[in-house]
Structure 1
Amino acid sequence: MNALSRLIESRNLVPGDRLPPEREITEALGVGRSTVREAIRQLQALGAVETRQGSGSRLVRPVSPATVHMPLSFAPASLREGLLQTLDVRRGLEVEASALAAMRAMPVDLERMEAKLVEMERVHMEKGTAGREDLAFHLSIYDATGNPLFHQLLEQMREAFEGFFAEPFDRPDFARRSFPFHRKLFEAIAAGDAVLAKANTVAILDIVAEDIVTMAR
């Protein structure tokens, strides 16, 4: 992302300007397309770039290496401590996000959210775990709030958040008991029931907290 920010700055791009084509960026930076796409996605999450299908990406606010926010980081004494500290933040974000999603989600948001949920359920049934798909489902809830700050905050803490979805403690059954509540959470959001959406989010996070404590022993 820093390299792309430097490229944007070197070309004197200002809000409203289109980013160079993906192929041109890969050649200029000497990296693969997947790396470029990830950098653009991160700038999107930070609200600096807007991408529309068929029209490419354009800058919506000034970007430079000095202005792009770097990910937050911390050095907990143990995996248990790090997950519990991050869980405190997840509670603050996800409980409120689920309520806002219930109040604001548009049909297209619900369609996208359900698609993520169905994929999560499919992978979970096949493998007994679905960390990456679980994260994608939660991200779709953030997006459904209509507030880009939720996604921006997550980008700042992505590394810490991803620890929950990567079989911590080498336990593929981590938080498995929370699986049924994800469908209930979606149904509450789809029904516009903010109170029930909050309750199901709390239920999921309570199970996560219990598993952190018991599996870390």
Structure 2
Amino acid sequence: MAVTDEAILKIKEMIRAGELGPGDRLPPEKELSEALGLSRSSLREAVKALEIIRVLDVRRGDGTYVTSLTPDTLLDAMSFVVDIHQDSSLLELFEVRRILEPAAAAMAAARIAPPDVEELRGLLTALGDSPSVDELVAHDQVFHRRISELAGNAYLTSLLETLSSSTLRARIWRGLSEDGSTERSLTEHRLIVEALARGDAALVAARATVHIDGVAEWLRRAIV
């Protein structure tokens, strides 16, 4: 079981057992992580996942609380999870991205200049080695949009931007639920940039394909 999944289950068990009820405030992060035998980073990711589905309410500067847990609150928040787990059309969107993004990256390889390469490397440097899921997804959008812009086709850029927005929630959920996905995404981005720096269109396209396939393969498993 993934560490984050274990953390989520432990917090949910506290709620089911009545140790935490609707409106209750969670113990401080250090205290709770020690009580549950979890690292603080795993606990943060679990809290973030439970916040997204409205089991928890994170109030900046105040603390983290259990929500009302009323059906309307939980069902509303679960709509995007239902999208991922029941709507196979998302896979079709990823199939379109798999066709278009490698092609756009290959076109960018023929046009890219040294300052463009440094810009892309700068995006990775600014992100750091251990970004949060939110930071990674925001970076991912900028990174892919910049490469599509370098392809020099405004229609292609616009189409890919639409596809990227349509698959955003799936990428967030993968980042929260799959161990190592953040590190893999960063490594794949670095490999794409290095291929662009070499001007190797075939290599860029291959690495972009692998990158898109990683999320698509996770989604295939998720909707089974």
Fold equivalence (TM over 0.5):
yes
Identity, % of aligned positions = 30
TM-score, normalising length: structure 1: 0.55
Q: What is the CA-CA distance between 1:158 and the residue it aligns to?
A: 4.8
Larger Rg: 2
2:189 aligned residue: 182
Instruction: Considering fraction of residues, name the structure with more helix.
Output: 2
* 1:89–1:207 CA distance, 2 compared to 1 (3 A): same
2:169 aligned residue: 163
Listed one character per residue, the Cα deviations across residues 81-139 of structure 1 (whole Å, up to 9, x for unaligned) are: 1331110111121110111111111233223222222234x1x5143671111121111
Q: Give the match's secondary structure for 1:167.
A: helix
1:9 aligned residue: none
1:195 aligned residue: 202
Q: What runs of 5+ residues in structure 1 fail to find an aligned partner?
A: 1-76
* 1:210–1:115 CA distance, 2 compared to 1 (3 A): same
* 1:164–1:115 CA distance, 2 compared to 1 (3 A): farther
Higher relative contact order (CA 8 A, sep 6+): 2
Distance 1:169 1:187 in 2: 24
1:102 aligned residue: 109
Whether the aligned pair in 1 keeps the contact of 2:101 and 2:160 (CA below 8 Å) is: no
Listed one character per residue, the Cα deviations across residues 155-213 of structure 1 (whole Å, up to 9, x for unaligned) are: 44453132343225952648443431211110000110111111111111222122112
Q: Which residue type is aligned with residue 108 of structure 1?
A: P
Whether the aligned pair in 2 keeps the contact of 1:128 and 1:172 (CA below 8 Å) is: no
Distance 1:96 1:110 in 2: 18
Query: How many residues matched?
Result: 140
Match for 1:114 among 113, 121, 125? 121
Distance 1:162 1:135 in 2: 9
Distance 1:101 1:169 in 2: 27
Distance 2:213 2:162 in 1: 23
- 1:107-146 matches, within 5 Å, as 107-120=114-127, 122=128, 125-127=130-132, 130-146=136-152
Matched, 1:209 2:216: yes
Q: Give the match's secondary structure for 2:194.
A: helix
* 1:93–1:178 CA distance, 2 compared to 1 (3 A): same
Whether the aligned pair in 2 keeps the contact of 1:131 and 1:167 (CA below 8 Å) is: no
Query: In angstroms, what is the RMSD of aligned CA positions?
Result: 2.8
TM-score, normalising length: structure 2: 0.54
- 1:61-76 matches, within 5 Å, as none
Distance 2:197 2:206 in 1: 14
Distance 1:212 1:138 in 2: 19
